Amino acid sequence: MGQVALQASRPVREDSEVPTAAYDELPDGLLVVSAGGEVLALNRAGARLLGVEPEQAVGRHVGDVLGLSDDRGHDWWAASAKLRKLPGVTRTPEQRLVLSGPSGERELMVTSRYVRQEGTLVRLVVAFRDTEARERAERGRADLVSTVAHELRSPLTSVKGFTATLLAKWDRFNDEQKKIMLQTVNADADRVTRLISELLDVSRIDSGRLELHRQVVDLGAAVKRVFAGRVATGEPPERFHLQVDGDLPEMWLDPDKMDQVLANLVENALRHGAGTVTVHVHGTGAGAEVTVSDEGEGIPSEIRKRIFAKFWRGQPRRGGTGLGLYITRGIVAAHGGSITVGRADGGGAQFRFSLPAGTPAFL
Ligand SMILES: Nc1ncnc2c1ncn2[C@@H]1O[C@H](COP(=O)(O)OP(=O)(O)OP(=O)(O)O)[C@@H](O)[C@H]1O
Ligand SMILES: [Mg+2]
């Protein structure tokens, strides 16, 4: 195995004593340079980033292959000459450097390791990667911050507006008017609280920290509870239909999170769909398959891929922040299941998720 890897990985100068295994499989660029500045090895990812053939790079001076400079325009190799001579320096922290090449300039994140024997530099191992992926992630975070700020601002503007008006003109309003204002403030405060708890869920999902507290969950009973909650807030009971069939095993799920999934899908069916909301729980022996269907306009196939994305909302806007389905998918996935959307028999939207039976947490 070691032999094969050694033969397969090129180009490495045979007398260079450079350990060679798996160079070419590294996702980041890797360059090995002698103390004198001769390129001893360059892996495939590195060659791709630098726009050279690995074979052409080996044997050349590092300055000709890796034309890097810092943000003040200082040549990287020349500027680090002092560090190479200092016996105590064994590595440099990650640095953002500019690479000048035939196709213009681009930024690379660069780290070097100085391999020494009794303080004398033997070789340098330089790892480098494109900043693009990192910048894309940073842009994503910036978008998230601006969306969140925007979502928080509108309810808070209303809270501030109504409380300021009430405080300044208390005597000019009758009890009925004051009550309406306070109800609005109350509802907007609920919106902020809900948004914050959704954001915490999103952050747990994104970082893989969504914890499940598994118990035996009766899915039929959970659906009935969600329906009852909606009936209590004024929906007619005839709008809801539940069917449970098949071979339903004992399901070990997180009860609160399952309620959240069911409540989100039923809420969507009511808010974005129309007609009767049907939940079908089907036992498959190894788990359950649940569908939530409505009789609304459904979701066109070209946007079905997008609806699970963070903050994605369709037109027309009907309140909501567009986090419901993102969280729903995250919770289902944390249980080892998956969720898809399709078309219900009557033409409405149909969400279908599968859940394995799961095992007790203490096993
Ligand atoms: N049953 C449905 N019928 C038609 N469109 C739907 C249905 N469920 C979801 N959608 C579309 O998918 C979008 C995303 O849904 P999601 O639940 O993620 O966000 P939301 O309901 O808009 O807001 P939130 O759930 O965060 O309050 C909705 O805005 C809507 O356009
Ligand atoms: Mg929703």
Burial of residue 184, with CB atoms counted within 10 A of its CB: 0-12 exposed, 13-18 middle, 19 or more buried = middle
Res 8: pLDDT? 43
Residue whose Cα lies nearest atom 27 of ligand 1: it is 320
Res 277: pLDDT? 97
The finding on whether 32 has its CB within 6 A of some atom of ligand 1 is no
**Residue from 190, 268, 299, 303 to probe ligand 1 pocket by mutation (most atoms less than 8 Å from CB):** 268
Ligand 1: centre distance to CA 162 (Å): 29
CB 310 within 8 A of CB 202: yes
Q: Is a pLDDT exceeding 90 seen at residue 150?
A: no
Res 275: pLDDT? 96
- Beta bridge pairs of residue 162: none
Question: What count of other Cβ atoms lies within 10 Å of the Cβ of residue 114?
Answer: 21
Strands 91-101 and 252-253: unpaired
Q: What are the tens digits of pLDDT across the range 67-101?
A: 888 878 888 899 889 889 998 899 888 888 888 87
Least Cα distance to 336 among 225, 251, 245 occurs for: 251
Mark the residues whose beta carbon lies below 5 A from ion ligand 2.
268, 324
Res 160: pLDDT? 94
pLDDT higher for 352 or 153?
352
Average pLDDT over residues 274-291: 97
Res 51: pLDDT? 85
Res 63: pLDDT? 87
The finding on whether 272 has its CB within 6 A of some atom of ligand 1 is yes
Of the segments 54-63, 97-106, 215-224, which one has the largest average pLDDT value? Answer: 215-224
Dist. CA 277–CA 59, nearest whole Å: 71
Burial 85-112 (b: 16+ CB within 10 A, else e): eeeebeeeeebebebeeeeeeeebebeb
The finding on whether 327 has its CB within 6 A of some atom of ligand 1 is no
Average pLDDT over residues 238-258: 96
* Per-residue confidence band for 298, with pLDDT thresholds at 50, 70 and 90: very high
CA 124 to the chain's CA centroid = 35
Q: pTM for this one? A: 0.66
Res 10: pLDDT? 53
Q: Is a pLDDT exceeding 70 seen at residue 361?
A: no
Q: Is a pLDDT exceeding 90 seen at residue 341?
A: yes
DSSP letter, residue 275: S
Res 5: pLDDT? 41
Q: What are the tens digits of pLDDT across the range 121-142?
A: 999 999 999 887 777 777 777 7
Q: Is a pLDDT exceeding 50 seen at residue 4?
A: no
Res 11: pLDDT? 60
Domains delineated in the chain = 2-130 (3.30.450.20), 135-206 (1.10.287.130), 215-356 (3.30.565.10)
Q: Which long-range contacts (CB under 8 A, 24 or more apart) does 12-19 make?
A: 12/40, 12/41, 12/58, 13/40, 13/41, 13/58, 13/59, 16/40, 16/41, 18/123
Dist. CA 112–CA 32, nearest whole Å: 10
Dist. CA 144–CA 66, nearest whole Å: 36
Dist. CA 99–CA 172, nearest whole Å: 68
The finding on whether 194 has its CB within 6 A of some atom of ligand 1 is no
Question: Where are the strands (E) in 213-299, listed by range?
Answer: 215-216, 240-247, 252-253, 277-284, 287-293
The finding on whether 330 has its CB within 6 A of some atom of ligand 1 is no
Burial 323-360 (b: 16+ CB within 10 A, else e): bbbbbbbbbbebbebebebeebeeebbbbbbbbbbbee
Residue whose Cα lies nearest atom 25 of ligand 1: it is 324
Q: Is a pLDDT exceeding 50 seen at residue 64?
A: yes
